[in-house]
Structure 1
């Protein structure tokens, strides 16, 4: 008998002793980080609202209770009874029964009303019909991504259960190492922006944190071939943790499966969906530009199938000697700071991913309170000594000024925008400004993936600011459904109509002008001096966006997905409005560390140009008297 089997037998004995007489325990299994308890008495289990909480506290495990299939009422009878229990105002749109696990997936416009106060409605459902309810939100804006991901995972339920059981056994395997140590190896994004990738190693475990590309440099990928990563075989990686879905952090995660990785990817639920959206588009752009894609679309599906979603604040076992907790990073939807607790109090490391320290219109600011942190791996995108962004109110005032001036001269405002994050931030500013009469009401055209990304935002309002959640819950107040917003879905013909029409605003991908529909908009709008191009996001070195921002007005149009070569002369005005970035500026990064509780002993400054990482490292050392580093790629740091 294996160590895991012995462990499960002991857990089953403990659970049987703890539950009241009359409740049977028929099986206990690991599925990923969760302990799943099967019972023939689900109604009695649900009747004691504190039983699961007491078991989770005693066993120090995340617990799910499922009924044995032979204890269930028939789906048709259950369907009718469930609809009687759930308030009509919850807006139930679908009930999907899975007899193999005894789960019923309830899709509703207002999941909170399905859950009930402290889960009371869920318990009532199980008490009445025996089925274990799982609740998902019906997107207020229809999202093909969310629909496709949910349908795919439904089709792959059997495979996914096999994956989760295998992962669960790996997590809870017996520790074999005789010694203890903690190391971090840098595989990318050191003294540069992009291709984020790190390996956190112990004597027992290897975890890859992020695996992204480098904007404007297709051939520069993370150093995955080194022994600490895939050089010793993809099977030697125990887990992948994805902080957020931007391509400079996620683009090459599916590539791991091409090389034989078959383990879990830990991330938030919106990060999983956005990764699917952005990586599939990444492949599409590569094909249009005549580049060989690094992997096939099937690898994206494999990545999604292997995702284990974690909510903010949940402490989750991901290896015998590592616990992971994800915290809000304030950067984009679902973005996380990944906190690792290694060993039995041995060491604690936090990877910031990308952070925004203060609140924005979309998100609460990044969390910086942890039980323990000895080392912080901190992004430094705006870490340079002069990287101070404009106050958000001033930025919004500046943007409204530019829009009003352009409107008065009958021009169009073109805003290159990242589909995820900055676009939705700008949409909220524009919606309020038009509603308050601060700018004229005019069409706001959304091109590229912006509309689809917005739909995903409305699917997960619990990851947004509280006041924005409230507005989205009330359809008549949902700012993303304002009449001014128009989804461009007619391609080149519709773009020409917009260019020939009256004053308007265009938000288009890509945010760094590296291909995509923005190139078409430059052809349509670039020659007219009455138009304006406004940069509201970071432009990495080497990108066309950075060159235009620095004054280029003759730009090459070949090999950028247009199918046409030549040079385009830009006559439109070009402006930069700071303050909308999803990254903390220099002051924000310093404040993040200053108010961090506890303050770390060491900080590795990464994900920034060379001068930015060195400037921030020096400033943190002098201000807080801590050990700081601006590492290069392929360095390894031992902490224990």
Structure 2
């Protein structure tokens, strides 16, 4: 008998000794980080409301109880019983029964009403029907991505369960080494923005954090080195994805092409956004005549291997590592990743990309951890002069630009990242029109912006508290405002918009590196009455940075594939304050208000000046050991 099988046998004996004698336990198994308990008496389990919590506390594991398939109520009978329990106002749109596991997936427009206070309605569902409920939100805006991901996971349910069982056994295997050390190897995004990738290593475990591309460049992370995939993809135990932007996620599917077959830990919205953005990444590469680094089947593999975690859940991901994700305030589902290594041995936090203060879209980044000895901190705006306009002033500046452009008869063209900045700008525009601060006019959304917005409305619990409450309770979803129009008609519709009444156009890509923004430049760029407004970070080497710096002649591909020159006469403005990144002060405040403060800080994800200046400032201000590492450095932390 293997050590894991013996462990499960012991756990089952412990559970059987703790539950009342009239409750049976037929099987206990691991599925990923969770312990799954099968019983012939699910209704009795449900009546003992504190029993699962007590067992989880005693065993120090997350527990899911499922009915033994042999005792399941017929789905047609269970459907009636479940619908009798759920309030009519919950807006149930689908019930999907899985007899192999005894789970029923309930989709509803108001999932909170299906869950009930402290899970009371969920317990009632099990108590009445015997089935174990799983609740999903019906997207208020129809989302092809959410629908496709859910349908795919439903189709792959058997294989996914096999993956989870294998991962669970790997997590709970015996520790093999008595050594105690922790190392971080930098594989990308050091003294540069983009191609984020880090390897966190212990004697037991190797964890890859992020694997992204570099905007405006063909450079990729140093995955081929012996410390990373050079030793074989199978030597990586887990991947953690901080958020879905391509400079962190673009090459995650490539890992499966190289033979990786392990878990990806991230939040549920990040999983969906990763699918959306990586598929678009492949589409853009194909349209530009480049060979994509992997195929769409690898994106599906990545989604199938993803284990979603909620903010604040402490989760075993290896025999010696626990992971907790916290809100990073950057984009939907973005996470500060906190690793607790060993039995109190060491703690490391990777900030990913963070925004320290609240925005219209998100609560500010969390920096309250029990312990952090080493912090890996983004430094995008870490330079000594990198201070952004505050939110109120930024909104006023944008409103002024819109009004001035409108008065002279022009249009407003805003290159925007599909995820994060677009939704922030949409909220500002909706409120400004509603309050009469700008004229009512169409706001055209081009590219993936509306689809990304639909994903935001699917997960309002990840949004700022008051925005979430607005969507939850007031039926006043600002993303559903009449002003917003999706560009579905391609080039013909763009030409009509360019010749039509005054309007605002939000279009991807945010750094003007391809996509529909190139078409809008051809239509709007020669118009001196119109304005192009940058509201997000423009990386070195991108066309957006060049236009921002004054380029007024840019290359445009014609129908024959040859590059023509386009003369820009459009007014160009930059409005700071809408970035999803903390500025210099926000980064300093993030570290200052950590209690206790870290002993070491690695300043990454910024150009050479930004990382070095932030590193120096943190050292002198707070007497912390700081580093501005180069790529391919390894730090032994203990």
TM-score by length of 2: 0.99
The Cα offsets for residues 271-326 of structure 1, whole Å up to 9 and x where unpaired, read as: 00000000000000000000000000000000000000000000000000000000
Shift of 1:564: 5.4
Looking at structure 2, the residues matched to 18 and 302 of structure 1 have their Cα atoms a distance apart, in angstroms, of 39
Structure 1 unpaired stretches of 5+: none
Q: What pairs with 1:251-270 in structure 2 (closer than 5 Å)?
A: 251-270=250-269
Looking at structure 2, the residues matched to 65 and 287 of structure 1 have their Cα atoms a distance apart, in angstroms, of 46
Looking at structure 2, the residues matched to 350 and 240 of structure 1 have their Cα atoms a distance apart, in angstroms, of 15
Shift of 1:80: 1.1
Q: What pairs with 1:404-443 in structure 2 (closer than 5 Å)?
A: 404-443=403-442
1:638 aligns with 2:636: yes
Distance 1:475 1:291, change over 3 A: farther
Q: What pairs with 1:222-621 in structure 2 (closer than 5 Å)?
A: 222-474=221-473, 476-558=475-557, 563=561, 565-621=563-619
The Cα offsets for residues 465-487 of structure 1, whole Å up to 9 and x where unpaired, read as: 11111221257410000000001
Task: Kindly indicate whether the alpha-carbon contact (under 8 Å) linking 1:520 and 1:562 is maintained by their aligned counterparts in 2.
Answer: no
Task: Kindly indicate whether the alpha-carbon contact (under 8 Å) linking 1:383 and 1:608 is maintained by their aligned counterparts in 2.
Answer: yes
Partner of 1:55: 55
The alignment partner of 1:378 has SS state of: strand
Looking at structure 2, the residues matched to 547 and 24 of structure 1 have their Cα atoms a distance apart, in angstroms, of 68
Shift of 1:502: 1.1
Looking at structure 2, the residues matched to 482 and 437 of structure 1 have their Cα atoms a distance apart, in angstroms, of 15
Looking at structure 2, the residues matched to 416 and 449 of structure 1 have their Cα atoms a distance apart, in angstroms, of 12
The Cα offsets for residues 335-389 of structure 1, whole Å up to 9 and x where unpaired, read as: 0000000001110000000000000000000000101000000000000000000
Runs of 4+ residues over 3 Å off in structure 1 = 561-564
Task: Kindly indicate whether the alpha-carbon contact (under 8 Å) linking 1:519 and 1:562 is maintained by their aligned counterparts in 2.
Answer: no
Task: Kindly indicate whether the alpha-carbon contact (under 8 Å) linking 1:267 and 1:307 is maintained by their aligned counterparts in 2.
Answer: yes
Looking at structure 1, the residues matched to 411 and 593 of structure 2 have their Cα atoms a distance apart, in angstroms, of 43
The alignment partner of 2:207 has SS state of: strand
The Cα offsets for residues 164-213 of structure 1, whole Å up to 9 and x where unpaired, read as: 00000000000001211000000000000000000000011000000000
Q: What pairs with 1:112-261 in structure 2 (closer than 5 Å)?
A: 112-218=112-218, 220-261=219-260
Task: Kindly indicate whether the alpha-carbon contact (under 8 Å) linking 1:213 and 1:249 is maintained by their aligned counterparts in 2.
Answer: yes
Looking at structure 1, the residues matched to 162 and 245 of structure 2 have their Cα atoms a distance apart, in angstroms, of 29
The alignment partner of 1:227 has SS state of: coil
Shift of 1:84: 1.1
Count of aligned pairs between the two proteins: 638
Task: Kindly indicate whether the alpha-carbon contact (under 8 Å) linking 1:352 and 1:377 is maintained by their aligned counterparts in 2.
Answer: yes
Residues 564-573 or 188-197, more deviating: 564-573
Partner of 1:105: 105
Backbone CA RMSD of aligned residues: 0.9
The Cα offsets for residues 527-579 of structure 1, whole Å up to 9 and x where unpaired, read as: 010010000000000000000000000001139x9955201100000000000
Structure 2 unpaired stretches of 5+: none
Looking at structure 2, the residues matched to 143 and 352 of structure 1 have their Cα atoms a distance apart, in angstroms, of 29
Looking at structure 1, the residues matched to 631 and 457 of structure 2 have their Cα atoms a distance apart, in angstroms, of 38
The alignment partner of 2:563 has SS state of: coil
Looking at structure 2, the residues matched to 463 and 311 of structure 1 have their Cα atoms a distance apart, in angstroms, of 10
The alignment partner of 2:520 has SS state of: helix
The Cα offsets for residues 61-115 of structure 1, whole Å up to 9 and x where unpaired, read as: 0110000011111000011111111011000000000000000000000000000
Partner of 1:629: 627
Distance 1:490 1:475, change over 3 A: farther
The alignment partner of 1:95 has SS state of: strand
